[in-house]
Structure 1
């Protein structure tokens, strides 16, 4: 998989179509291109391939740019960053495609075709019935000038077809190795629509050449396109860039990754509380592996270790559970102030208005949950009992200790409240006071801890009890113990059914 072109200036690119938001496949491709360019002191270009005018939108373009920016995958040139090879939208480069296309026509390497869509479909159906490859017959290939004028006189619009030479098309893929295909399988290919807009395979060649792109790293769905593009490079007498096709992304069930089976857009993961550092780390491992067993990698480490030689030829599985685990590792690595800052939008969205809660309480609550959460979006629910004055409704049964009655649990909570009210407000004294109550009344320490936890949090699982009590605060702890006793009173008074 060595690359003989590294000696020339390295220029890589990502060229998404603005027909949707930033897909994780686009992000993975952008990351690999960025790493390769940075490793070789080159440039990373963002080009918008909006050749599908009907489906392209400014909103989708912004979604792509926002997704890549959130991940920190910064490009050197693009539609929002002027460079020497602009413009960076296909829709603004139409004159370049027209010039290249008519240079091929002038050298009899392309021709105008007047076939209607209905005629082409009829050809395809006939080929399928005859079990032939559904390729264009080339009926307009050898028309005379007079015949072409006659077609135009009838008002027929013309597209431009590229004359595909027969025989093998070969190229070396930086990931897949030496590849070849017989061009006789597909015949001549359209390169310009009658509207004056280019088709994908032609636009890509003109753009990559005119932007001096040296390396094209992209998804596996473009392997078939590459043969056609190589032929166009050959006809235009342009040097081909180095191609490398990255492994397909699959769901854990080995199906192709798709929106129907979960999140596929970068923005979805951002909204679910994933960190950009974790996403970049995870995306790097989709089809590439380092030389060590280390899986938690900062961007600088990726720059040092990334290599196309370690990119797999096999499909890569997008494992949500692994991503969540990795995100938890990254959350635990954050400085607490940084974590609070990143969590604040999620807290606000959940109605926990950060501006109305003492910052010290927010910091303490988030700090206690930092070791437990795997996504930022889990923090509002995890910290709500710290940050709200009133608890969410909960099942009163969590206030009844194992093998104890509601009456016994109510009475022990009353004694615990008295001890807590009299204790110094620190972990050591609180623990000492509560253990003393348990010993005096013949309770197991753990059983008493459990119902106190339930009383002050409405939960059965929280951070350590005494740390939790300190953050909840004395007044709220005492109030919630009273409320828990009232709940137990209701259970005691409730008639048996």
Structure 2
């Protein structure tokens, strides 16, 4: 099945030529079609004469007067010909399009070609025959085919078949209204497969191109939910490919899977999180560490490259779970994996010495907080679970000595992230994620640098 449409077992058109020839013969037998023996030179001459006379340059029906016996004889003799449809027998067909409503062309159709000189059918014949034989009930295609649909309706009538429901959708265009091309990266599906885009986000985005979800509907989590959420009211004309809307859906799905899990989908969505979020983040971290790609975020922070990974990320058995914990710890979401890395590099790499030195030169951390943190690190039991006892121990130690909350958090930010003005996680989350050993390492680095500064 492709988009709900079964593919014929002999789907190669060249293998289906006898089917098309049989149906063309049916039209010939019922006087709904005729053979046209006009040469290309004759057709060109006819067009020129019509143009010079100020008339429409449509085929004038030159070969319609050839009787059936002569037509059969000339065809059997191998004379080159096409088969044309007798359009005037069916007037100006009307149709009701599911999107555009009532549609009827102002002018009569010309006698369009059904079978070409090489014996292959035109699209007009092939799509009607194939759709009927496959019992297609709804034909959904681009709006550029609406103008040709009266031809197809006439063919359905000529064969005595019930036409399907037609729905002609607007074409996807760039934000400037220009037509998309294969050279445009936006139409490359592999970009979304490898770019951290969740399947349901992509599906919801595509479903909303030219349509919309119903009001107050919850975020669909399954294909069935998407179908139930859609209004199935479509806009007419070109549909702009708004990639910011895809980012919006992707962030909503990511946040929903991370912080509002659905029990029935938990296993499947955990795999999606790993495939489209955890692994891409890991790959980017490892590429930056190896020096194969640059990080504008790290460069802007004056971090020396390549940076040193936190030890947990060097352990193949732990690094995936560590990154997942880093993602979960970032409550409130983030725009992209690259944003998480560039905004919070201290979660993945150890803070470079030069970054610490620059920060310490601006302001020395409160010694009472350093001492309280060192004491809390010595208590291994404080570091179980969410590590809340660590923060409680520090506060209970220094607040009676007149140290306020802001000062406490500023010192902890310097140690964990390399500066008190760095956008960071809450101290409690950083305790839980980085862990006791890493906090001990960073505290010792800061203390060593402070000793050097004091001696200097």
Give TM-score, length-normalised by structure 1: 0.65
Which whole-Å CA distance do the structure 1 matches of 2:415 and 2:57 have between them?
74
Which whole-Å CA distance do the structure 1 matches of 2:48 and 2:366 have between them?
81
| Equivalent in 340, 348, 364 of residue 408 of structure 1 | 364
Whether 1:229 aligns to 2:152 is: yes
Match in the other structure for 1:79: none
Structure 1 contact 344–354 (Cα < 8 Å) conserved: no
Structure 2 contact 99–167 (Cα < 8 Å) conserved: yes
Task: Map residues 215-294 of structure 1 onto 2, 5 A cutoff.
Answer: 215-258=138-181, 262-294=185-217
Structure 1 gap ranges (5+):
1-12, 15-29, 31-43, 48-84
> Secondary structure of the residue that 2:418 maps to in structure 1?
helix
Classify 1:45/1:414 alpha carbon distance in 2 versus 1 (closer, same or farther; 3 Å).
same
Which whole-Å CA distance do the structure 1 matches of 2:40 and 2:395 have between them?
83
Whether 1:45 aligns to 2:24 is: no
Match in the other structure for 2:304: none
Whether 1:341 aligns to 2:271 is: no
Structure 2 contact 417–424 (Cα < 8 Å) conserved: no
> Secondary structure of the residue that 2:150 maps to in structure 1?
helix
Larger proportion of helix: 2
Match in the other structure for 2:428: 466
| Equivalent in 198, 209, 219 of residue 132 of structure 2 | 209
Task: Map residues 15-414 of structure 1 onto 2, 5 A cutoff.
Answer: 30=3, 44-47=4-7, 86-88=9-11, 90=13, 92-114=15-37, 132-143=55-66, 157-165=80-88, 167-184=91-108, 186-258=109-181, 262-294=185-217, 296-298=219-221, 299-304=223-228, 306=230, 308=232, 310-313=233-236, 316-334=239-257, 335=261, 337-342=270-275, 343-347=277-281, 349-350=283-284, 351=286, 355-358=316-319, 360-369=321-330, 371-374=332-335, 386=347, 388=348, 390-391=349-350, 396=355, 400=359, 405-406=361-362, 408=364
Match in the other structure for 1:476: 438
Structure with the larger RCO, 1 or 2 (CA within 8 Å, 6+ apart): 1
Q: CA deviation at 1:150?
A: 7.1
Which whole-Å CA distance do the structure 2 matches of 1:252 and 1:209 have between them?
37
Which whole-Å CA distance do the structure 2 matches of 1:162 and 1:392 have between them?
77
User: Could you report, residue by residue, the CA deviation over 1:438-463 in whole angstroms, capped at 9, with x for unpaired residues?
Assistant: 9778983453344334239x993343
Classify 1:410/1:444 alpha carbon distance in 2 versus 1 (closer, same or farther; 3 Å).
closer
Structure 2 contact 61–111 (Cα < 8 Å) conserved: yes
Classify 1:169/1:282 alpha carbon distance in 2 versus 1 (closer, same or farther; 3 Å).
same
Classify 1:302/1:486 alpha carbon distance in 2 versus 1 (closer, same or farther; 3 Å).
same
- Relative to structure 2, which stretch is displaced further, 294-303 or 271-280? 294-303
Structure 2 gap ranges (5+):
287-312
Q: CA deviation at 1:331?
A: 1.2
Which whole-Å CA distance do the structure 1 matches of 2:455 and 2:116 have between them?
82
Which whole-Å CA distance do the structure 1 matches of 2:230 and 2:248 have between them?
22
User: Could you report, residue by residue, the CA deviation over 1:358-410 in whole angstroms, capped at 9, with x for unpaired residues?
Assistant: 55424322322474235567677678754x5x448798389527xxx446369
Q: CA deviation at 1:128?
A: 6.3
Classify 1:311/1:169 alpha carbon distance in 2 versus 1 (closer, same or farther; 3 Å).
same
